[in-house]
Amino acid sequence: MQKDIIRLIVIEESANEAEVIFRNLRKARYPIRPRHIEDDEDLQKALSNKQEWDLIISVPQVGDFTVAQVCEIVSKSKRDIPIIILADDNKNMFELLNAGATQVVPSDNEACLALVVGRELKNLAERRQYQQVEQVFQSTQKQNKMLLDSSRDAIAYVHEGVLVYANASYLKMFAYTSMDDLDGLPIMDLITPNNQEKFKDFLREFMTTEMSDERQIELYGVKSNEQRFKLKMAVTQSIYDSEPRIQLVIHDQSWKNRDPSTGLFNSQHFLELLEEALVNAKETQTRSVLFYIALDNFNRIKEQLGVGGTEPVIKNMAKVIKRISDEGILARFSEGVFTLLMSDEEGKKYAGAADIADKICKVVEESVTELDKQSVVNTCSIGITRVLAVADSPQDVLNEGRAACQNAQEKGGNAFKVYEVVIEKDKQDSSQIAKLIETAIEENRLSLLYQPIVSLHGETQEFFEVLLQMVDSEGQTVPNPDLFQAAEKANLSISLDKWIIQQAINISAEHEKNGRKTYFFIKLSAQSIRDKKMTEYIGKQLNSTQLSGENIIFEIRESIAQEQIKLANTFINQLNKFKCKSALEHFGSELNFDTILKHLPVDYVKIDASYSKGGLLSQPENQQALENVVKKAREFGKQLIAVSVEDADSLAVLWSSEVNFVQGNYIQEPLSVPEFDFEAD
């Protein structure tokens, strides 16, 4: 039953006819508040006021006033009012509906009119309810948009893997200035390459899971300036712009990252930033510089002022240090310790680190903190270290900075100290050696040594084995076994090999220009042989110096070749394109060594040192073993080189064998220059 009052307009020629309609509707128990209209002027007047109308019932025509005119006036009023026409017959039904009437009802059928009125009022109520919901929805959308735009959380919406919206916080987080820069950008472009597969799998699982609960994932994002950073993202199914979308939210955790007293970053967040810097060093070779800044005599000040009394001092120190360190990330790491992290893409920050540290020491020394009853002055000590790719962890980097800072304090404080890696004797730490290796080239701590490889049969070609030497910051030589083991572990072998190759090719090319022809044997690591770009690098170095490849012989260890025969064979064939020659070193050290020469087209075979060490003359079994090795190599037509020749007796045995060349300290120890008299008897 209709309960609300129905505001009704009836268009009829006479008031009596209109009253009949009123009576029939009341009889059908419709609570109407009717108005009789006779012409278009009355209708326009009725619709022009603020009165809301629910229904119009009209005859087809009153004088010159037609249904078409009624529908046009209602349409222009922008009102949603159903129009029911009472017709004497159905002949003109099409014309009436076509003019805009909602329904056409026989004029003599009271029951039909009551039924149609009920339906139209119900439809009208549903339309009005929908409009109200739509208005609420649009209003909510506007409010949501305002909330999204002003939210401190970084929020974005994604459709089919592409960003369709990102709020200001999201743009700022990824270092973009406007949505135009991000519109249509694949979301994967904002994730570091090594995390993209992880994120793809996560989204794939998320989309195929029936439950639409929030899911979270930790990733490394990449900003427009290529800077990497760690983030924790919440992912949900949502609606944006009336369409289903994936919502990404990175919650604002900035308040958790701050020290409440100074407003600087706290230690937990600084360690996270330090971890990001370490990731950048590993992935993009972008290093950073860490300053570990400790207030001298802080414990004494705390005893004098109490814990609460030190806070004004800390605040003041934070303020003055921040003025010097605007380009870096400053944190209050502990009570009297600040840490400063500076990105150092071009190495200029590390080169100028001493100047920065000196300025900080001076401003701290000159600063005075005024308290109620006393003035407090202080000094600081600073430890400086670099965030290198080979560092084990953020804590490892922090420990280096702390150690350097303590060193400065032990010498009286109010100073700075750069952390130096020193390898203690009998304490060969591979991680420390790796740090030395990473910076060895730029700090000029690498050099080459040369040991001659001499013919036993009168040939005078100048063959030299090229050996690498590295010293630590105090000039102490790092033993080669430890050096190469640490390089292999830290994935730095390729860098060392490239440096050796470049230096050796340059020196051989210089000799060539001066009319001297030298041949250099260069050992290659397993990493270099596996590197698809290594032969390309060798080719470029040869081309840049216009040196013939025949001057360079690359050595491959037998154990490496046996593990990856196909790879080694391909590598040798690529070297042959540059006319470079190859050698198999440590030959005879592996089981089934005789079969490897069937697969590798090397030019030289270097016999493992175990066959000649300890003296060949006094060890008949070694002589027999050597004879077997020589025989196998000779079957394949290889040139043989005996290494580690340490005495004249061994040389005599080798002279009588079919070995072509010898190398060892008895012939000559490695020298810093490639010099030897190859024409001497």
What does 243-295 look like in DSSP terms, one character per residue?
Answer: EEEEEEEE---GGGGB-TTT-SB-HHHHHHHHHHHHHHHHHH--EEEEEEEEE
Amino acid occupying residue 516: R
Write out the H or E segment, with its range, that includes residue 603.
none
Question: Nearest CA to 262 among 342, 340, 362, 330?
Answer: 330
Res 566: pLDDT: 92
Whole-number Å distance between alpha carbons of 260 and 226: 31
Q: Residue 446 has which token pair?
A: 């690498």
pLDDT for residue 614: 62
Asked if 170 contacts 268 with a C-beta cutoff of 8 angstroms, the reply is no
Q: Where are the beta strands (DSSP E) in 566-624?
A: 581-587, 604-607
Q: Which amino acid is at 64?
A: D
How far apart are alpha carbons 384 and 386 in whole angstroms? 7
Please give the pLDDT value at position 346: 75
| Alpha carbon distance 382, 401 (integer Å) | 8
Low pLDDT (below 50) residues in the chain: 1
Residue 292 near residue 405, CB atoms below 8 Å: yes
In what helix (H) or strand (E) does residue 593 lie, and over which residues does it extend? helix 593-596
Which of 506, 521, 674 lies closest to 605 in space, CA to CA?
A: 521
pTM: 0.59
- The contacts of residue 456 (CB under 8 Å, 6+ apart) are 654, 655, 659, 660, 661, 662
Q: Which backbone phi and psi does 385 adopt, to 5 degrees?
A: -150, 165
d(CA 46, CA 620): 128
**CA nearest neighbour of 83 among 64, 112, 113, 57:** 57
The pLDDT assigned to 285 comes to 81
> Torsions phi, psi of 578, nearest 5?
-95, 10
Q: What does residue 251 show for φ and ψ, rounded to 5 degrees?
A: -65, 140
Pairing of strands 368-370, 228-240: unpaired
Number of helices (H) and strands (E) in the chain: give both, helices first. 23, 27
Domains of the chain are 6-132 (3.40.50.2300), 151-250 (3.30.450.20), 259-418 (3.30.70.270), 439-662 (3.20.20.450)
pLDDT of the residue at 244: 86
